[in-house]
Each structure stands twice: as C-alpha cells, then as structure tokens.
Structure 1
C-alpha cells in the first residue's frame, strides 16, 4: 500500500511539475525569464514570480532587501512551514486585519486541485482567483481520455486532508527542489501538510469552526 501511495504521489508531483510551468508562462504579465519544463533550479526564490508565490505572508516580497535576505538564508527571514505562503491566498494578498480572508482560495491551489483530481486538461488557464474548484464533473473529453481520479477514489466531497495534500504538492512544484524531499532547507513539507490539516480540524473557537465549515462548503459547491 505504501509503495502504491508513493507511486501516486510521484505521479502527481511529475504532473504538477510540468503543469505549473504552463500556467505561469501563460499568465500575464509573462514571466521574464520564462520557465522551462526541465530545469527546476530556476524556480523557487530564484525567480521573481515563484518567489512571490512562495514568500511567507509575514514578509514583503516587494521589498528588495527582504527577498535578498530570503535568498541568502538570513536567520531573521527564515522560510518555514509555520507561516502560510502567499499562493494559498486569493490574489496572493494577505490582509493582516482579516487573516482568513481569501485563505485556501488561491488561483494556483484551485488549478492544482483540478489538475490532480480531474485531469490536467480540465484546468483552464483563465481560471480567475477565487473561483470555485468545480471538480465534481469532468468533461466528456476528460472521461474519454482518463479516468476521473476523484470518481475512482469515490471522493464525493473535498476534505481538509485533500486540500493539504494538493497544497503540499503545489509548494514542491513551485520550489527549486529537483526531487522530492521532506525538508527543503528550513521548510518541512510534512509539517506544512499537518499544519493545514490542524487548521481545519482543530479550530480555535466555535466562530472559527463556522468559518471553516463555510470554506469547505465553498470548495464543495
């Protein structure tokens, strides 16, 4: 079973590794330089686009001194799993006054979810930030070319662990890591996954539980 799970994870990693390049190169404004399919060392904090997406919400990537410090591994600007990366947010924007606003509604998170659980062909590059995942029904073409993964898994609803899995896979796809590793410098993919699961499953108050329920309903509408 573990071997099968590792194989599925590897397949998803390979799929997103290619897909994210197509999505980013198809975005506006176009990345400069554009991303290539084979070379991952140009991603991560080595590129302005992926660096901004991976940048923790605690830091201002627009500040040259900040992203220089991140690239140079300054101890005051460590990138760990204990701060949400910008790609989790709709429009990549974090509002300190409303920290949950747009969280887990990021454009590329939604696209990655659809890519993994329906098919790469189901993802439209024009998906706008904040659009609902809409993964329950694959297109006729998708049904003819590939089994609908969510259907094969009998996955009728999107659960926190699925969101955490996709977010972790996307984080790896955006990074400069050439092969899967649990820890990327100071960032632990394992901790990141569990932090997302805990965020959903261990709400701090009844009000937070209600907000998270609304978020899951949004994913499942």
Structure 2
C-alpha cells in the first residue's frame, strides 16, 4: 500500500475553497487518518462542501444526516491544487499531484513519484522523460510494472484503481480493505470514475476527456 505525506499547497483563487495548514500523516496508525485528521479530512471532503467550516467538520465527523459522504461526490483530493471552483466542478478534476504520485509509485517507480509535479499542462514532460531515459540507459534498472504489463497509455480503469484502492484508502482510517466504508461504497465510486471517462454525453465532452487522458499519459 502506498503511503503519503500531505504537504503545503498554494492558496486557491478567491472563489475556491480555502486551504488549511499543512500536517504530515503517520503511516503506523491508520485510526488517526480519515476525518479524525485535519489534513486527511479536508482531502476526503466532498468538493461541494467547505472543510474549513466548523459545522462541516462536525457534521462529517458525527455523520449527521446533512453531511453523509457517499460515493456520488467527487472528493477534494482528486482536484488540481486540492481546490475547487464552485462554479465549475469539472475544472481541475483528476489532475491532483497526489494522484500522479500514487500512479507513478505503482506503475513506474517510487523514486519517480518523488519527482512528480502534477500541475500545469505537461508541456515540458516529454523532454524531462527523454532526459530520464538517457540517464537510465547508463545504469541497470529493474523493469517497472508499466513495462511488464505493456502499458502504453493511462486508462480510465487504472486511474480509478489509483483513486479508490490506493489514495482514498490510504487517507481513510480503515485498517483493511473492504468494499464499503461506512456510507461510502468503493465499487460504485470506482464505476463512477470509469463512467466519467467512458460514458460521455457528446463530442465536446469526449474531446475534453481525451485531453485529460493525454495529460495523464504525458505525466
């Protein structure tokens, strides 16, 4: 299981939800993750709610009827810079640094995850990758998972796997994998992610989704 540290993030635009102080998360005690931990709780919070508000924190932690977290909301950790434009919930969706780090840790190497940026449009990524390949050619390296399974591009299912079974689970307080975590159904959430990429309503949305998948493959 991949472990993460939550680092300081840049301040979002005025119409975005505000970020909170930075906290590192420990890997030894999962019970202190999840909504008990302020940083984990913020990242696991649905995008349409503002974790910085005390009523939201209390409602989620106490599982009141107004703040039940289900698999039908996008969570803050999937967004670029971990901030949300309340007027456009698709802006920055599935472009977060923590997702890129987790994906690279699994499919390329843990060391490559440390170098993941995850921001911007990836214009310089191809050149960086070429430089990295030239350096790797000079040393003997272990074949990565992506090469073993002949992965040539990032797929919706691989993104869903990283979101659900790696990042969301790692941030949560549950100690062992299960399909349902409280009111949150991982299987349905995974299907929702795949549907976002594959079950598109028209050509404009298809182009936007293809651009996002190309962004992922560049990284």
The question of a shared fold, defined as TM-score above 0.5 by the shorter chain, is answered with yes
Residue of 152, 170, 180 corresponding to 2:148: 152
Alignment of 1:20-59 (within 5 A): 20=4, 23-24=5-6, 27-28=7-8, 30-31=22-23, 34-59=24-49
Distance 2:203 2:87 in 1: 20
8 Å CA contact 2:95–2:118 kept in 1: the answer is no
Deviates more, 1:75-84 or 1:118-127: 118-127
Report deviation, 1:208.
0.9
Report deviation, 1:213.
1.0
Is 1:104–2:87 an aligned residue pair? no
Report deviation, 1:205.
2.2
Residue of 178, 181, 185 corresponding to 1:181: 178
1:162 equivalent in structure 2: 158
8 Å CA contact 1:115–1:123 kept in 2: the answer is yes
Structure 1 residues 46 and 125: CA distance shift in structure 2, 3 A: farther
**Between structures 1 and 2, the one with greater helix share:** 1
Cα displacement string for residues 102-132 of structure 1 (whole angstroms, at most 9, x for unaligned residues): 0000110111011110111211267354574
Distance 2:62 2:172 in 1: 16
1:206 equivalent in structure 2: 203
TM-score of the two chains, using structure 1 as the length reference? 0.82
Q: Please provide the CA RMSD for this pair.
A: 2.3
* Number of equivalent positions: 198
TM-score of the two chains, using structure 2 as the length reference? 0.82
